Structures are given as C-alpha cells and as structure tokens.
C-alpha cells in the first residue's frame, strides 16, 4: 500500500484534491476531521483538553465537549498553551491515523491519502511514501480565505505565519496540484498522481511506529 501525504496552506483547495483521490479509489484520512471528533461530545480528548483548558469546556445535556472557538482564542497567540494542546492531541491523532491505515490494508487499498495540513511542519512526511501539495496564486488564496465567515486580515496573516511558506512546501513535495485554474485541472493532476503511484510499491506500511495510547 502506498501512503501519500497531502498538504497545503490555508485556502489552497485541499478538499477538491481529496475528493478527486477518493473518486479514484484512494482511502482518505483527514487529520483536521479527526481532531474535531476527538474534541466533540464523547470524544477521547475532551477530558484531557478541558482539564488543561477549563474555560473551553462546553457542557451539554448528555455530555461535555470542547468549545473549539474559545480554545482557539486561548492558544492562538500563546505558544506555550499551543504546545500543551499539541502534547495532548498529537498522540491521539497518530493512533487514529494508524488505525485507519490498518483498516485500509485489510480492505486491500492500493493508495492511502493522509490529509495533514501541517505535514512538513510536524515531520509527518517521514511516514509517507510520497507527498503532494495543493497550491494556488497568493491573490486567489487570500480571496478564498477572507471570504470565510469570521475571517479577518489580521487572523489570516497570523495563520500564515504559523505555516511553512507555499513555495517551500512546493519545493519539498513530490507532486504539486495547482488549484488556481479550474477544478478539472486539479482533478486531472490527481488522476495522474494515482496512475504514477499505482506503479510503485510502498515501504512505510506496515511499520512499527512508536506506541501511542489506546
């Protein structure tokens, strides 16, 4: 099984690429979606996160959850708080990633795509057989992001400051998927990547990664 790490800065259009890969039979694992599940009602991270950040505890009739809006404000400009949060979440996310890859192997998937926004920043590319980055011109990226509800220029600039520059991601990646033209172009590029990887044999799974909590 080949493991493709997919990444891209905010507003670059990763969702279009992941849908294209899924249509071509790839298993998709979304790191952001996993974090949301972990912090939702009944999620495995709720107790630990709310113990570390009590202000972010959201009480509901049938259980507690993490208020991600409040949590975001608590860690956004506080590097120490962000590191505390990452120390809680990262082992759980890695464990979920491994479970998903194991399930993909049982289903005899030829290609697993790990959608990880901070793939290079966190060293996740070391767990992948190949990497792909989605990219678009800066003016398109900015327009997409600033059109989102609640987004401001200052918040956008702060998010970019935490991410590796687009040019550096493109330099490191094995493949670059351009999303600034039209969806057909990005879909065709995704198909080309699938065809190329179908001729290769993965070397990163199964692999004995460091143990993480159950």
The structure tokens 């998903």 sit at 100
Tokens 């399930």 -> residue:
103
CATH numbers and ranges of domains, the chain? 1-26+111-202 (3.40.50.300), 37-108 (no CATH)
**String of DSSP letters for 112-131:** EEEE-TTTTTTTGGGG-SEE
Q: Report which DSSP code applies to 67.
A: -
User: Going along the chain, which residue ranges are E strands?
Assistant: 2-7, 27-30, 57-60, 63-66, 111-115, 130-135, 175-178
Predicted local distance difference test score (pLDDT) of residue 92: 96
Q: What does the mean pLDDT of the chain come to?
A: 91
Pairing of strands 63-66, 57-60: antiparallel
Pairing of the two strands 175-178 and 27-30:
unpaired
Give me the mean pLDDT over the 165-184 stretch. 91
DSSP state of 179: -
Strands of 126-180 (E only): list them: 130-135, 175-178
Predicted pLDDT at 162: 84
Instruction: State the virtual CA torsion across 214, 201, 109, 92 in degrees, nearest 10.
Output: 20
pLDDT category at 207 given cuts 50, 70, 90 is low
Task: Tell me the residue ranges of DSSP E strands in 17-154.
Answer: 27-30, 57-60, 63-66, 111-115, 130-135
* Cβ pair 111, 128 in contact under 8 A: no
- φ/ψ of 14, rounded to 5, equals -65, -30
Calculate what percentage of the chain has a pLDDT beyond 90.
75
Taking only the tens place, the pLDDT of each residue in 104-163 is 999 999 999 999 999 999 999 999 999 999 999 999 999 999 999 989 998 898 888 888
Cis bond leading into 140, ω under 30°? no
Question: What is the per-residue pLDDT for 213?
Answer: 44
């Amino acid at each position: 099984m080949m493991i493709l790490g997919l990444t891209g800065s905010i507003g670059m259009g990763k969702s279009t690429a992941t849908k294209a890969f899924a249509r071509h039979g790839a298993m998709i694992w979304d790191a952001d979606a996993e974090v949301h599940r972990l912090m939702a009602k009944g999620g495995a991270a709720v107790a630990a996160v709310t113990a570390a950040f009590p202000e972010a505890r959201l009480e509901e009739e049938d259980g507690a959850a993490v208020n991600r809006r409040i949590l975001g404000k608590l860690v956004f400009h506080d590097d120490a708080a962000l590191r505390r949060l990452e120390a809680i979440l990262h082992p759980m996310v890695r464990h979920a990633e491994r479970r998903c890859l194991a399930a993909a192997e049982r289903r005899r998937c030829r290609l697993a795509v790990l959608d990880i926004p901070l793939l290079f920043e966190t060293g996740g590319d070391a767990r992948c057989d190949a990497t792909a980055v989605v990219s678009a011109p800066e003016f398109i990226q900015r327009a997409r992001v600033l059109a989102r509800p609640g987004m401001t220029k200052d918040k956008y600039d702060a998010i970019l400051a935490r991410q590796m520059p687009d040019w550096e991601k493109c330099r490191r990646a094995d493949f670059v998927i351009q999303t600034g033209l039209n969806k057909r172009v990005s879909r065709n590029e995704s198909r080309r990547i699938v065809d190329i990887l179908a001729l290769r044999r993965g070397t990163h799974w199964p692999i004995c990664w460091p143990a993480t909590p159950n």
